[in-house]
């Protein structure tokens, strides 16, 4: 794993969280549409969970997974921010923090820094090289 792949883990975790949030929203919508069916003269039937209960259990499980993922994301961002702070070039620090901690798009970084988009790419390329040097010593990539 190179430095860029290491830093990009934040995007992967963030996408996973967003996907699970969409699933929760979908399950909540589904749970609101679930209706009970009444069956006449069924006496010896073992009671299963209702569709509403199933949906609620799935929502709770998914929300617990989301909380775990959020904790992982926060820890990852904290570690990355600490590692970025070890760089000496302030422009490199700024671009890496905006990209991998604040999760900004390239165009947003260019607007925030006042640099041309191509210049942001150059700073990023140089910053990744600088970031990779001490990273190789501390993390097996």
The answer to whether residues 131 and 3 touch, using CB atoms and an 8 Å cutoff, is: yes
- 3-34+50-138: in CATH 1.20.1050.10: no
Closest by Cα among 44, 43, 24 to 32? 24
Q: What is the mean pLDDT of residues 92-115?
A: 97
Alpha-carbon gap, residue 99 to 115, rounded angstroms: 14
Alpha-carbon gap, residue 97 to 104, rounded angstroms: 9
What pLDDT score does 70 carry?
96
Of the two residues 53 and 62, the one the predictor is more confident about is 62
Instruction: Determine which helix (DSSP H) or strand (DSSP E) holds 44, and give its type and residue range.
Output: none
What pLDDT score does 9 carry?
94
Domain boundaries, the chain: 3-34+50-138
Supply the pTM of this predicted model: 0.77
What pLDDT score does 56 carry?
85
Please provide the average confidence, as pLDDT, over all residues in the chain. 87
């Amino acid at each position: 794993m190179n430095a860029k792949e290491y830093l990009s883990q934040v995007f992967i975790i963030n996408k996973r969280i967003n996907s699970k949030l969409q699933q929760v929203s979908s399950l909540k919508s589904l749970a609101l549409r679930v209706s009970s069916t009444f069956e006449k003269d069924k006496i010896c039937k073992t009671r299963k969970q209702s569709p509403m209960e199933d949906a609620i259990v799935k929502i709770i499980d998914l929300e617990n997974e989301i909380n775990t993922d959020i904790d992982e994301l926060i820890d990852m961002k904290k570690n990355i921010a600490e590692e970025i702070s070890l760089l000496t070039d302030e422009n490199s620090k700024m671009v890496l923090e905006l990209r991998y901690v604040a999760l900004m798009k390239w165009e947003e970084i260019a607007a925030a820094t006042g640099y041309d988009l191509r210049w942001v790419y150059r700073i990023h390329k140089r910053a990744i090289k600088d970031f990779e040097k001490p990273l190789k010593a501390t993390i097996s990539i």
